[in-house]
Structure formats: C-alpha cells, structure tokens
Structure 1
Amino acid sequence: MTISTTRTEGLIVPPGGGTTIRTPAQQVTFKVTGEHARVASSFEVVVPPGFDVGAHRHACGEELFYVLEGELDVLAFEPRVRTEDWRHWESASGLTAVRATPGTVVVVPPGCPHAFANRGDQPARMFFQASPPSRHERYFEELLDILKGGGPPDPEAVAELRVRYDIEQLTPLRHES
C-alpha cells in the first residue's frame, strides 16, 4: 500500500494495517501518526488481563479512548482525595470509576487525571487518539521497550520516561499476569 500525505490525498488504513509493536504486557498498533496528521495520532491498543496503566495526567495533551472489545475500568476526573488505588477515587461531584464496555467513549482534557485497567480474564481492545501527535508514538515505543522483559515493570524506568513525556504518574503502572 502506498501512503500519500499530500494536501489532496488522505490516508486510508485497512483492517490489520498500521505498525504494530508487541511485548508480553502490551500491543499497540499505530494507525495514524504525526507523520500523517497534524491534530492527533491514532492507535489501536490491546490491553491484556491484569494491566493497569495507573492514574496519571498530561499537562498539555488530550486523549480519547473508545472501547472496541472487552471491558476496562476507567476514570477521567480529579478526585477529592488521591489514594494508592484509583478505582476507589470519587470526584467532588460524585463521579467514580466505571466499567467501560464496547462503545464507551472517554474524553480526557489536559490536566485531567485518568486511568484504565483490565480486571477481566480476556484482552480488551480500544481505539485511542492523542493530541498533539508524535509524542505518544515515541512514548509508547519507549514504554514497550521497558515492558519487554515481562514481570513487573521497573518503576524507576517508567517514572523517568513519564517525566520526559510530560506525564505526571499519580498511581503505579502495574501488570499482573
């Protein structure tokens, strides 16, 4: 397939298309990257059972998640009190984490704490957009390099990576296989 990015031709990514990177803990397929779009990067993410991205926030980035298959626990709000387990957080207006099923959309504005975790026994799959583009592409590549070894992720390596990509980690990233 030839990829064209002129102003008069769009980009069509067929089913199964894109560039996929995998580790024992994660799979990300880059569908639309900063090379192709100025507004947002788009990914398909497979979230394995036991994976918890940990609550975090981006000072400048916006994200959108759309659950395609499976179920994920998700949140997108500032809690009244931050604790170690984001699944028990509650916002000042009474929001709590929810179980997202296929068709659920989560929109995350800049500065908003958010998280997702697969507490089920089957992989979940979601469509993910990040704005501005490019930053998340490099971040995912480096994060997947850290996760390649299997077992628990190195918290210091994850923390250093997130600082470099303007991500404030609020609760730990976890992968319990």
Structure 2
Amino acid sequence: MTADGFFVKPGAGRPIGHQVTLKVGEVHTPNMLAVECRFAPGFDVGAHLHTTHEEIFYVLEGEVELFAFEPTVRTSEPGSWTNWESAGGDKVARATPGSVLYVPRGTPHGFRNPGLVPMRFLLVATPAGHENYQQDIADLLAAPPGDEKALQEAVAEIRRRHHTEQLTPAVPVPEDH
C-alpha cells in the first residue's frame, strides 16, 4: 500500500494556542512534525532539553536568539541561558531569516525574541508527537488564572509526561502584545 502526500496552503493548519500552527504531525505520520511558530517581542521559552526527539528551527521573520549546546556551567535564573558558553567557546547566536539551528536529542537549547517585532520560525522535529506537548501547555495556559504554584506544578507534570526537562524558566509575554 502506498500513501499520498498532501499540500498545506499558506495560513492553513491546526492552531495550537495563539502562537503555534500545526502543519504536519502525528495525525499525518509518526515520523515528523512541522509547526509554524510566532512569538512576540520579549518571549523566552527558557533553556530546556528533550530526551525523545530532534529539532530543526528555520527562521522566517524577525530575530531569534538561540543556542544548542551543553554549557560549561548551567544556571537556573530566568534568562541566564543567554550568557551560557560551551566548552568549545560556542555562545548564544542571534539568528535572522534564513538561519537554521539543529538540536540533537538530549541537547540543552532555548530561544527568545530579543527584537521589537514578532518573530516567526518553522520547527521541524522527529518523531512526531511534540505537538501534543504544545497543545497540553496551550490548553493549560488558556484556563482561567489560578494559583501560581498549582500552575507551575501542572506545567512541570506536562513536561515530565512529554520527556522535556526545563532548565531555566520560560518568560511569556501578554497575549495582547
């Protein structure tokens, strides 16, 4: 049996929260994920790592500060990853449209929008399934505000369930930004 491919038009795909659009995922293939991401100025996903998949980031618009290496010293304060350095001297890079970052499984990495305008990138990962993590986080953050401690515990549980270790805190920006 052979399967046909498919075409996704610009602007099409399944929204995951307000910032991510699923283009290809588990519903299509167990092998790959492709999501288009858009984040406002100031957003910082925080340093983290995934134990089950690899990622490729392709910058489409704006500027993105990012890295993918094991730092000589890990610090846990918000935003501290922007000062990390690898044993080989690699530092956080500022990427512009057309830039690509490859992240091997188990490698610390992070990204943030240091610019004054929204940034947009295509994230391709293997295997598929990371969209479920993104959806769980989006659903949790869309719920009415509650106890901050309970929220952080819920986020930590979602990360554990989806094989993601958060190394520094994420720094979200207001939805209306």
Superposition TM-score, scaled by structure 2 size: 0.88
2:7 matched to 1:12? Answer: yes
CA RMSD of the aligned region, Å? Answer: 1.8
Once residues 55 and 133 of structure 1 are traced to their aligned partners in structure 2, the CA distance between those partners, rounded to angstroms, is 21
The structure whose residues are more often strand, as a share, is 1
Which residue of the other structure, out of 166, 169, 172, is the alignment partner of 1:172?
Answer: 169
Once residues 45 and 58 of structure 2 are traced to their aligned partners in structure 1, the CA distance between those partners, rounded to angstroms, is 16
Q: What secondary structure, in the 3-state scheme, does the structure 1 residue paired with 2:159 have?
A: helix
Once residues 150 and 44 of structure 1 are traced to their aligned partners in structure 2, the CA distance between those partners, rounded to angstroms, is 26
- Residues 69-103 of structure 1, C-alpha deviation per residue, up to 9 Å, x if partnerless? 00111010000001121000000000000111101
Once residues 121 and 109 of structure 2 are traced to their aligned partners in structure 1, the CA distance between those partners, rounded to angstroms, is 15
What residue number does 2:39 align with?
A: 47
What residue number does 1:77 align with?
A: 69
Once residues 35 and 69 of structure 2 are traced to their aligned partners in structure 1, the CA distance between those partners, rounded to angstroms, is 23
2:152 matched to 1:158? Answer: no
Decide whether the 8 Å contact of 2:17 with 2:139 is kept in 1. Answer: no
Q: What secondary structure, in the 3-state scheme, does the structure 1 residue paired with 2:131 have?
A: helix
Instruction: Extract unaligned runs of 5+ from structure 1.
Output: 1-5
- Residues 106-146 of structure 1, C-alpha deviation per residue, up to 9 Å, x if partnerless? 11001100000112221100000121102x11111111122
Which 4+ residue blocks in structure 1 deviate beyond 2 angstroms? 146-151, 153-157
Decide whether the 8 Å contact of 1:67 with 1:105 is kept in 2. Answer: yes
Which residue of the other structure, out of 81, 85, 95, is the alignment partner of 2:90?
Answer: 95
Instruction: Extract unaligned runs of 5+ from structure 2.
Output: none
What is the aligned-residue identity percentage? 48
Once residues 120 and 76 of structure 1 are traced to their aligned partners in structure 2, the CA distance between those partners, rounded to angstroms, is 20
Q: What secondary structure, in the 3-state scheme, does the structure 2 residue paired with 1:140 have?
A: helix
**Shift in Å at residue 166 of structure 1?**
0.4
**Shift in Å at residue 16 of structure 1?**
1.2
Decide whether the 8 Å contact of 1:11 with 1:36 is kept in 2. Answer: no
What residue number does 2:57 align with?
A: 65
